[in-house]
């Protein structure tokens, strides 16, 4: 695949709160995109290993050669240079106008104003760099600013968002707003009515205003079936949107206890898991909190997903197909847990675990005995330029798959025969993908069939056959080990789909 020219990256930060919070935010020259960390939740002997993550800003500079052009101020630099490199990073400093430290008459913050200012910045970067589009990278509320630009502002101006935005990545954005697990909606109604510290921007009525084009918005607020998470497919291609979802509320709880307890455990401490996703978009789950020492933005997991989504050249999707769970009449329900690890990285790229409140719920068996619809397990992006062992030229990742059963009667779990966290089936699919330049040949083997350590394995023989060579998309079905058949059905398999990505 020929080298593609780099596109400017624009970072859009999250919610700062009241004036004091805004004043604190604007003191940071990079609005938090420069924050790193020194912790990771792995290590031998039950001890966390020291891991120094330099920050997304510095890593994009070191790994991808992106330039950071400030030199006294972004606006000053843009004012004094007719041309800028397209491989550059820019911070959308939308809060500056609302800080009392800059002026005695700060502008009241409105999300729509931040989105219009973002469009002005994007147009300026395109003009001076010659780049056809930019990448938008956003944390928390910043993702809603970007969506306001994509779904409303550009629509109101009669422009196609795809003419301005190439890819859109969000860390912990409340795409579905911020909801609370207590008080039967009391907190949402209170935010909606009072707008405490401007937090009404996460309530449905306000979200409907800034996510809906003028021509489509109805008086009286959102219709009853309106879902703020949805981005209309005809507005922007959903496959070019990536949502990183945090699943660790505990670390956010340390500094924001009231928020984390009110939002509930199935969250990153501020944004509930279901609300952090755009339906139909790419996504990954990582055990990180909304912010703080173990936050999403300043994490190796977050950066690796970001880097591969922006610059990877292969997209690999794994689905569980041909599933026929046993219908035993005992009220049994089934869950799958998945972890996805890429060779050479110190942390997992994606994990959905029961312990993290986000297992995959497997569908009930159909009455006619036919297989259930395909169950998405994981998607990852691979980069053919990534370093790898000299005697193993393939790109390798591992998909950990566990299937667990739960029995209930009358809505109450039964524990007579239950073994907590014990899988009915568990194995690891080791996948080797040929680099994009040579064509995506794929070898796959279950760990239970390997005679030694996984790192000693080198794929040999003919790769799995492409089942539809004419489509331009490589696809094959990997049969499950025989031990899975009594649970998942004789015809169950993992379907691997590899597509070019740029």
Any bridge partners for residue 318, and if so which? 378, 496
Sign, CA dihedral 307-311-314-319, equals: positive
Asked if 289 contacts 40 with a C-beta cutoff of 8 angstroms, the reply is no
* Predicted local distance difference test score (pLDDT) of residue 2: 44
Position 369 scores a pLDDT of: 72
Residue 94 pLDDT: 96
The residues, ordered by sequence, that sit 6+ positions from 216 with a Cβ below 8 Å of its Cβ are none
As a three-state string, the secondary structure of 118-170 is HHHHHHHHHHHHCCCCEEEEEECHHHHHHHHHHHHHHHHCCCCHHHCEEEEEE
- Whole-number pLDDT of residue 77: 96
Domain with CATH 3.40.50.1820 in the chain: 9-176+197-247+276-311
pTM: 0.93
User: Domain 9-176+197-247+276-311 falls in which CATH fold?
Assistant: Rossmann fold (3.40.50)
How does pLDDT run along the chain (502 residues), one tens digit per residue?
445 689 999 999 999 988 899 999 999 999 999 999 987 655 556 677 778 899 999 999 999 999 999 999 999 999 999 999 999 999 999 999 999 997 778 999 999 999 999 999 999 999 999 999 999 999 999 999 999 999 999 999 999 999 999 999 999 999 999 987 655 454 554 454 434 456 789 999 999 999 999 999 999 899 999 999 999 988 999 999 999 999 999 887 555 555 566 788 899 999 999 999 999 999 999 999 999 888 999 999 999 999 999 999 999 999 999 999 887 666 788 999 999 999 999 889 999 999 999 999 999 777 777 888 999 999 999 998 888 888 888 999 999 999 998 876 665 666 666 677 789 999 999 999 987 665 668 999 999 999 999 999 999 888 888 888 877 889 999 999 999 999 999 999 999 999 999 7
- How would you class 48 by CB atoms within 10 Å of its CB: exposed for 0-12, middle for 13-18, buried for 19 or more? exposed
Which residues does residue 284 pair with via DSSP β-bridges, in sequence order? 244
């Amino acid at each position: 695949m020929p080298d593609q020219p780099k596109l400017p990256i624009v970072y859009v930060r999250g919610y700062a709160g009241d004036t004091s919070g805004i004043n604190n935010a604007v003191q940071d020259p990079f609005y938090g995109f420069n924050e790193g960390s020194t912790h990771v939740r792995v290590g031998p002997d039950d001890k966390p290993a020291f891991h120094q993550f330099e920050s997304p800003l510095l890593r994009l500079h070191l790994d991808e050669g992106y330039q950071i052009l400030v030199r006294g101020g972004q606006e000053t630099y843009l004012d004094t240079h007719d041309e800028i490199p397209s491989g550059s990073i820019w911070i959308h400093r939308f809060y500056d106008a609302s800080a009392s430290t800059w002026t005695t008459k700060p502008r009241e913050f409105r999300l729509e104003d931040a989105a219009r200012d973002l469009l002005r910045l994007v147009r300026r970067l395109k003009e001076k760099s010659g780049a056809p589009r930019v990448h938008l990278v956003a944390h928390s509320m910043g993702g809603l600013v970007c969506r306001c630009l994509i779904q409303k502002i550009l629509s109101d101006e009669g422009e196609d968002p795809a003419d301005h935005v190439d890819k859109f990545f969000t860390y912990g954005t409340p795409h579905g707003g911020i909801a609370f697990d207590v008080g039967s909606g009391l907190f949402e109604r209170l935010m909606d009515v009072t707008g405490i510290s401007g937090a009404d921007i996460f309530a449905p009525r306000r979200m409907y205003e800034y996510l809906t084009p003028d021509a489509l918005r109805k008086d009286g607020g959102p219709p009853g079936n309106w879902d703020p998470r949805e981005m209309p497919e005809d507005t922007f291609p959903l496959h070019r949107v990536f949502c990183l979802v945090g699943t660790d509320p505990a670390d956010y709880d340390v500094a924001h206890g009231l928020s984390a307890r009110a939002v509930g455990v199935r969250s990153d401490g501020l944004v509930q898991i279901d609300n952090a996703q755009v339906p139909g978009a790419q996504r990954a789950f990582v055990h990180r909190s909304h912010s703080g020492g173990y936050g999403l933005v300043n994490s190796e997991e977050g950066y690796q997903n970001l880097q591969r989504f922006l610059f990877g050249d292969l997209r690999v999707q794994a689905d569980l197909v041909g599933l026929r769970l046993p219908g035993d009449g005992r009220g049994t329900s089934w869950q799958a847990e998945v972890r996805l690890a890429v060779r050479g990285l110190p942390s997992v790229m994606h994990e959905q675990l029961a312990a993290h409140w986000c297992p995959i719920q497997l569908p009930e068996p159909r009455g006619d005995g036919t297989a259930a619809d395909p169950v998405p397990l994981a998607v990852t992006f691979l980069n053919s330029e990534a370093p790898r062992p000299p005697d193993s030229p393939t790109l390798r990742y591992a998909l950990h798959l566990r299937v667990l059963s739960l029995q209930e009667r009358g809505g109450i779990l039964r524990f007579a025969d239950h073994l907590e966290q014990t899988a009915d089936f568990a194995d690891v699919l080791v996948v080797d993908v040929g680099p994009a330049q040579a064509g995506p040949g794929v070898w796959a083997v279950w760990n239970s069939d390997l005679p030694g350590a996984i790192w000693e394995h080198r794929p040999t023989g003919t790769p799995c056959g492409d089942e539809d060579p004419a489509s331009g998309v490589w696809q094959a079905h990997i049969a499950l080990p025989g031990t899975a058949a009594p649970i998942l059905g004789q015809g169950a398999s993992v379907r691997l789909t590899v597509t070019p990505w740029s």
